[in-house]
A and B are shown apart, each in its own frame.
Chain A
């Protein structure tokens, strides 16, 4: 009998049909969301984009 392979972030796909038909982030994507260095870079980029949107809106 083959060994069971449990991937934590994939478990929710099985919980209902709606979950099964969408995308769920994997371990790398989740890790990057809380990686302080990467998020600091994203913080700068998001801020620049938001400032542009704000300036285009006034």
Chain B
């Protein structure tokens, strides 16, 4: 019997672990190490963040699901990896620290035959002074929707702002990114239009100023260098699509902005042209930049080999081309296909935890040298697809031997569906539904736009809103491993 250890229980880790457990059966052991007791359908945190959903509607307990799947579950965070074992043993192992109430702070080592790092991101609030509290957590000046608890807090603060407006006090809402190197603009994009929708619903829209601040060099970049879609006989940039949406809703934008400091009621920023400024706010939701979770790695002698296993940003190195050089040399083939660590072949990274070869958007910096560009999105559908491909590979390695062919899931060959929905009512909401294919543009295969415009599209309406509702229920159903869960695609 061999053991697969999966670090992380988010979209990617959960997908890897549950498929591996199904395919391996009782012949082998699957272990999940995740600091959370609950699984969270993160896309619906947006609705929690405006008070349209409860935390309970977007989360569920992991323990009974893993018990049903025959997965060994440790509520703990991984601290380090020893891929060569230790002096008296060749067996690789991870060191974990429990986060569950009954064993909080206790450490333990778990040996593995195969390891999948799907730890997701560290929400690096402290990268921007005042965005964090100095201890790695969110500060008190802004709110976030990155976790269900954050979203609950955001909804409470939002409700207070609505009450102030009803009492005659104008409010300014600032939504976007809290650093020049953020990703996940899509989440902030969805949140700002939910805020705007709810303000209308509450009858206080005229008392509010709603403004977008983002590190994108143009609206609609979304960390993917933008996209092109067919609309009305034209092929148009997502810039027009996004700007139109903002103008229609009366939402101003400030782009190419690195948020350099946050204080109570004020952010300081630097723009791509080097100018600096300030923006006041009464309510701000600023997405933090992401980093690796800070896992360490040690060799057999106990020497630190973190730099060998992980990139400087803390994400795990995989089969990507990290030496692509300047933007002009970037190719779709730089992106990883198998997510296998090049040094230790029994280690993989899935979802946000893998180190991308470079960003997707065109790299930009201010004349002062401050990099201001979105980092690549790897959430949602790509995370799930990568997690499943990695599970396939590991299962084949365990059952067919070390020469088994690895499964591939390059982001330059996969698409992604994104639905940004405002409002929650069946007939009162509207969504921007988008698909992009492939996520990473391939200008050799699709000269011009880098993507297949037959399958890269976006439109606004009730239809996308219904899809958002369906996805919410479908993916939670699937994650709970209810009957037929394997038939639901990632």
A contact face: mostly helix, strand, loop, or mixed: helix
A-B contact pairs, 20 of them (CB 8 A): A18-B247, A18-B252, A19-B246, A22-B240, A22-B244, A24-B248, A25-B248, A38-B461, A39-B461, A39-B463, A43-B462, A43-B467, A46-B433, A46-B467, A50-B435, A50-B467, A53-B417, A53-B455, A54-B417, A54-B490
Q: Are A54 and B489 CB-contacts (below 8 A) given A18-B252, A23-B240, A23-B244?
A: yes
Cβ-defined partner of B463 (8 Å) among A18, A23, A46, A57: A46
Is B461 within 8 A of A33, CB to CB? yes
Residues on A with beta carbons closer than 8 Å to the beta carbon of B490: 54, 58
A34 in contact (CB, < 8 A)? yes
Given contacts A12-B248, A18-B253, contact A42 B459 (CB under 8 A): yes
Closest chain A residue to B382 by CB distance?
A57
Closest Cβ of chain B to A10, distance in Å, is 11
Number of contact residues on B: which range applies?
A: 35 or more
CA distance A19 to B341 in the complex (A): 47
Interface assignment of B280: CB less than 8 Å from any CB of chain A: no
A54 and chain B: residue at smallest CB distance:
B489
**Shortest Cβ distance from A33 into chain B, in angstroms?**
4
> Are A19 and B247 touching (Cβ within 8 A)?
yes
Return chain B residues, CB-CB under 8 Å to A42.
459, 461, 463
Query: Is A33 a contact partner of B247 (Cβ separation < 8 A)?
Result: no
- Distance in angstroms between the alpha carbons of A36 and B429 in the assembled complex: 12
Nearest CB of B to A31, in Å: 10
Q: Do the beta carbons of A22 and B463 come within 8 Å of each other?
A: no
List A residues 1-34 near B (Cβ within 8 Å).
9, 12-13, 15-16, 18-19, 21-25, 32-34
Number of A residues whose C-beta is below 8 Å from B?
32
The answer to whether B464 and A46 have CB atoms under 8 Å apart is: yes
Task: Check if A57 sits within 8 Å of B385, measured CB to CB.
Answer: yes
Interface status of B134 (Cβ within 8 A of chain A): no
Shortest CB distance B257–A (Å): 14
Interface check B466, CB cutoff 8 A: yes
A42 to chain B, nearest CB (A): 4
Given A43-B463, A46-B463, A57-B414: A52 touches B247 (CB 8 Å cut-off): no
Measured CB to CB, the closest approach of chain B to A11, in angstroms, equals 9
Q: Are B415 and A12 in contact (CB under 8 A)?
A: no
Q: Which residues of A contact B381 (CB under 8 A)?
A: 54, 57
Task: Find out whether the CB atom of A33 lies under 8 angstroms from the CB atom of B462.
Answer: yes
A30 to chain B, nearest CB (A): 8
Q: What residues on B are CB-neighbors of A57 within 8 Å? A: 381, 385, 409, 413-416, 437
Residue-wise interface mask of B (87-113) relative to A, using a CB-CB cutoff of 8 A (1 in contact, 0 not)? 000000000000000000000000000
* Chain A hits for B248, CB < 8 A: 9, 12, 24-25
